[in-house]
Amino acid sequence: MYKAIKKLKGECPICEDITNLSYGTKSETLTINNQKINVTSKVYRCEDGKHFFYDPVDEENKFQDAYRKYRQINGLLQPEEIKEIRKKYGLSQRALARFLGWGEITIQRYESGAIQDNAHNIPLLLIKETSNFEKFYEKRKEQLDAKDIRKINKHLDEIKQLTLFSAFREGRKYEVNRSNLKLIRHLQSVGDYKYSIPIRTSEGELALAS
């Protein structure tokens, strides 16, 4: 179904002449990976020739809208979500691709709108959780150079600090260990966090005793 938004005079690329045009929205069904996706696209209609044509930007937007709906239906991460995961750990597109054992431009393609398959979506979903990323990091850090390792370590420290601060502020459980003991003591000294509950692991007991 087509719904006109405005009428105008302009060149029809099919008629190759100045004609009466309208610009509006049109319901369409696109097939993405053998799956039918309904979209509403913006399109020109030649009122003289009774046919439709697209502005290149509108046509690209139509497909990107269909890709977004396809990802949503199939539980795939959107491009901005992949970018958010990458930036969470301070990695470049190439570094994250190497870290995951993929081709160097793979992440660039996904962040630019290409649809990832489920085999690539699963590890991205997993490393969205910091604990999963850390486990994978221990196994894959040799794939990264020293600069990327420093960036990851810095971002992981910041994530842990924010997590600990949130636990203190909200009165949730937190783990005591050597790496966070200094921050814990600082938080205890500057605020009323008496309802926070420390989880004293064996490492934490050693840290508290030092």
Q: Where are the domains of the chain?
A: 2-74, 79-144
Place of tokens 């539980």: 75
Give 90-150 as a DSSP string.
T--HHHHHHHTT--TTHHHHHHTTPPPPHHHHHHHHHHTSHHHHHHHHHHHGGGS-HHHHH
The correct answer on CATH 3.40.50 for the domain covering 2-74 is no
Please tell me the least confidently modeled range out of 5-14, 16-25, 176-185, 186-195: 186-195
- For 61-115, the pLDDT digits (tens) are 999 999 999 999 999 999 999 999 999 999 999 999 999 999 989 999 999 999 9
Instruction: Please list, residue by residue across 89-102, b when 16 or more beta carbons sit within 10 angstroms of its beta carbon and e when fewer do.
Output: bbbbbbbbbbbbeb
Please tell me the least confidently modeled range out of 23-32, 49-58, 105-114, 186-195: 186-195
- For 158-189, the pLDDT digits (tens) are 887 777 666 656 555 556 555 555 666 666 56
> What is the band of 19 on the pLDDT scale with cuts at 50, 70, 90?
very high
Phi/psi-derived region of residue 33, left when phi > 0, alpha when psi is between -120 and 50, beta in every other case: left
> What is the band of 146 on the pLDDT scale with cuts at 50, 70, 90?
very high
The first and second tokens of residue 19, run together, are: 């004609």
More confident residue, 174 or 35: 35
Whether pLDDT at 206 is above 50: no
Query: Rounded to two decimals, what is the model's pTM?
Result: 0.76
